[in-house]
Structure 1
Amino acid sequence: MYHSVDRCPDDPYRITVTPERLDAHLARLRRRGLTGVSMAELLRARAEGRADGLVGLTFDDGYQDFVDNALPLLHRHGCTATLFVLPGRLDGDNAWDPLGPRKPLLGAEGIRAAHDSGMEVASHSLTHVDLTRADDEQLQHEIAGSRSALVQLIGAPVDGFCYPYGYVDARVRDAVRAAGYRYACAIDSGPLTGDFALPRVHIGQQDIGVRLWLKERLNKARGRTLPTAGSPSTGAPCGHVSRETATRARVSRETSAGAAADPRSTSNTTSDLRGTSNTAAAPPRTVKP
């Protein structure tokens, strides 16, 4: 899971990778005989038994730098990706992040450009709120409303959803399914893991060498929890991934990966999750109450 692709020294949430780092990640992916694809393509391939060698790439939030910096690199390496955007914040910025710089978001023209260039455009809700705290009316507005807005904007079906902050419970998952989506991405989705709570792994600027190798192992482990093609994929009938549990797990993983990484290593790598998503658990994000 990527977010922003830019040069940004002030990055308190560690959501930014430089174009050079993304280029190196994609190059390594291709050297290993792997191809980055959108989540829709990955799930179709999995259902048809041809997902070996494919890696799901996702970019959350829909920053302007996706079109400026990431898109040319994806094309150069023969990859596609899923771009999760916020149709309620067109031409806005990441106002939900209280710290760090304001990063401009794509407007309608940029989102259409990404779609027309072969990327999958999917929903990250309307405005990037914690859906587990939303009442029923707001939940419907953020989930179903964002899908309707994107269908109208790009003139094509919108199959994918991504939970803001990775926060999901059974109520939110069921609302996504009822809105007509075909899949949804989370982070560490626990007992809800399935096609409507797909686990991902965060890939950041510091992910090189041993640190990235450890995330590859984490990605493979999460992939083994997914249902196989043709089996039920709705996740557990009940359960909740709490903010506290998700945050503790992310802090533990980031700390472990950082401690184990070899600072002398200069090899640039990217996650390898064959047949599941190569995306990532974002570091803890401060949410206003």
Structure 2
Amino acid sequence: MASPADTVPLTGTGEPAGPLPGPFPWVAMYHSVGDRSPDPYRVTVTPERLAAQLRWLRRRGLRGVSVRELLAARAAGGGQGLVGLTFDDGYADFVTAALPLLHRHACGATLFVLPGRLGGHNAWDPRGPRKPLLSADGIRHAAAEGVEIGSHGLTHTDLTRADDAALAAEAGTSRTLLEELTGAPVDGFCYPYGAVDARVLAAVREAGYRYACAVAPGPLTGPHALPRLHIGQRDTAWRLHLKHRLHPLRRRPVKGV
């Protein structure tokens, strides 16, 4: 469990706001919601499974929210009953399958999208299957429905292997494009593949993001490398219970990040 001095909320400028008691927030990572066959990368949950997982949260007095709302609540000294819900890649099925279920269970979410692949598909997954991505209109629709829109970079590139120019474009240009598309600030970034190192983290911070999500960032853990838990089709009520109970035992972040 993180010590009070290790858990850092954010101010309106994106800078650390001081210590916050308790462990790092529980942030769930989803991708696609729809047909699971085939699903070689285990990135898809069925609508039925997502509905059951959201019901599980609500039965325990928990509510899924965007990462922006979660961090704001914690910075104000609250947020104990909130869980961050994130959906990576911007699949078109977010609007058709996930969003109605989020509304039904009074949950919010953060959707990390790729402005360099609007209306395209998940070409970065060589084993397939091909899944359509949201168009500009689809992203605007999600934003209008209260979903926080964040950047997943331009094209889903491993940023730890990108040169400085490509890294600046993936972080900075993607944010500019999304703010122009939605007409709203873009506060959050999500590292493709969860891949982050000190150089990539610095570039994302320099691009003006208030926070960034990773998967298991280890010693880089902090406001610009928030750890997340993968939630998949196999996560029934019992597995969710274990993940929730074990979350406070996760590795402590390093101070001063």
TM-score normalised by L of structure 2: 0.86
Q: What per-residue deviation string (whole Å, max 9, x for no partner) do you get for residues 209-228 of structure 1?
A: 44333322443333x7358x
Identical columns (%)? 68
Partner of residue 85, structure 1 = 113
Q: What per-residue deviation string (whole Å, max 9, x for no partner) do you get for residues 33-66 of structure 1?
A: 1111000000001100011101100000000000
Partner of residue 72, structure 1 = 100
Q: Which of 57, 67, 81 is 1:39 aligned to?
A: 67
Partner of residue 5, structure 2 = none
Q: What per-residue deviation string (whole Å, max 9, x for no partner) do you get for residues 157-207 of structure 1?
A: 000000000000000000000000000000001000000000001000011
Partner of residue 137, structure 2 = 109
Partner of residue 189, structure 2 = 161
In structure 2, runs of 5+ residues without a counterpart are: 1-28
- 1:202 has 2:230 as partner: yes
Q: Which amino acid aligns with 1:107?
A: S
Instruction: Map 1:1-289; keep pairs closer than 5 Å.
Output: 1-222=29-250, 225=252, 235=257
How far apart, in 1, do the equivalents of 2:167 and 2:93 lie?
29
How far apart, in 2, do the equivalents of 1:64 and 1:153 lie?
17
- SS of the residue aligned with 1:23? helix
Contact 1:64–1:104, Cα closer than 8 Å, also in 2: yes
- SS of the residue aligned with 1:44? helix
Q: Which amino acid aligns with 2:252?
A: T
Contact 2:56–2:237, Cα closer than 8 Å, also in 1: no
- SS of the residue aligned with 1:50? coil
Number of residue pairs aligned between Structure 1 and Structure 2: 229
In structure 1, runs of 5+ residues without a counterpart are: 236-289
- Aligned-residue Cα RMSD (Å) equals 1.3
Contact 1:82–1:122, Cα closer than 8 Å, also in 2: yes
How far apart, in 2, do the equivalents of 1:226 and 1:44 lie?
20
How far apart, in 1, do the equivalents of 2:157 and 2:245 lie?
31
- SS of the residue aligned with 1:68? helix
- CA 1:218 to 1:139, structure 2 compared with 1: closer, same or farther past 3 Å? farther
How far apart, in 2, do the equivalents of 1:27 and 1:35 lie?
10
- SS of the residue aligned with 1:168? coil
How far apart, in 1, do the equivalents of 2:232 and 2:246 lie?
15
